Amino acid sequence: MFICICNAITERQVQAAVAEGAASLSDLQGQLGVASCCGCCAETASEYLPGGRYASQATLHHEQGVLVANAANDSVAPMLEVAVRRA
């Protein structure tokens, strides 16, 4: 899911920035550019910071890198493959 349409910043990018230490909207603005254009995404982006509604969905650290948790709009059910044929 996109958090910032102006700068094409996704939920996963915001989660990763928080996992790497971003603790304020200013941190997210500096690292990603979120809420630096029209500002409509500032409230949503802030919800991923510590104490926010989605703070528990922050990325998890893994020994070999960063393991990203499911995004808020990720389906819990397995994805189905759909084949499309052109006539």
Question: pLDDT tens-digit profile of 37-82?
Answer: 999 999 999 999 999 998 887 555 444 455 555 555 555 444 444 4
Task: Record the pTM.
Answer: 0.65
For 2-30, what is the mean pLDDT? 94
Q: Which residues of 38-74 are buried (b: 16+ CB within 10 A; e: fewer)?
A: eeebbebbbebbeebebeebbbeeeeeeeebeeeeee
